[in-house]
Amino acid sequence: MTSPKTLFQKIADHEIPAKLIHEDAWCVAFYDIAPQAPVHVLVVPRKPLPRIAEATAEDQVLLGHLLLVARELARQLQLAKGFRLVINNGPDGGESVPHLHVHLLGGRALAWPPG
């Protein structure tokens, strides 16, 4: 039995519209619908990986790719003064969609601690 598609899988498959900023064979990136900063982009793997805690050694190249895409998007979005990358894991970590994704946040000074 296959699991139902997540919201992010449906976006990656173009079944649900999103404001895409990047797309390649490994991932898609789009603007968050509830931004927490002036720039808030999600980088989402096409592979249905629920969360970072479930990643394996086989996912190493994919995980690196997600970070490099986020870095390139930060450059394109002119976040030279700084940006933050966030990966939530599990309910207590703030995960709201069970599909691994990297938040790219920037466009203003970001406080620490974050939560």
Supply the residues annotated as catalytic: 101
**Contact of 32 with 103, CB cutoff 8 Å:** yes
Angle at 31 between CA 2 and CA 69, to 5 degrees: 80
Q: Which two tokens stand for residue 2?
A: 């296959």
